[in-house]
Amino acid sequence: MIEFGWQIAFMVVLVGGMYSSYKIGHKEGSGAMIDFCKTKANKQGMTLIHFFGKNIEFLDPLTYNQLMLDKIVDAIEEQNDESST
């Protein structure tokens, strides 16, 4: 019976240690990710993160907006060329 008590105590300590390690790792990892994102910020302090499936890219919002507007203009011009011919 005493062996069973030691085993239960060992399991409780083991699970407690695993949980505290997880919480510490999660807290430190999240903090490191936030600090990394802050280093990628532009002059206004903004960070644009774009997820392409499993790829993550940090983009400048102004450059991204310019690219999107250029693509929209190209599509409209292409549509106008097709409808005029």
Ranges in the chain, pLDDT < 50: none
- Residues 22 and 35 both lie in one domain: yes
Number of independent structural domains in the chain: 2
Please state, for a pLDDT cut of 90, what percent of the chain lies above it: 11
Task: State the Cα angle at 45 between 40 and 46, rounded to 5°.
Answer: 70
Three-class secondary structure of residue 27 per DSSP: helix
- Give which of 46, 41, 48 is closest to 67, Cα–Cα: 48
- Residues 27 and 3 both lie in one domain: yes
- Residues 58 and 79 both lie in one domain: yes
Could you read off the pLDDT of 51-63 as tens digits, one per residue? 888 888 888 777 8
Q: What's the pLDDT at 4?
A: 80
Domain that holds residue 55: 43-85
- Residues 50 and 32 both lie in one domain: no
- Residues 31 and 51 both lie in one domain: no
- Residues 85 and 49 both lie in one domain: yes
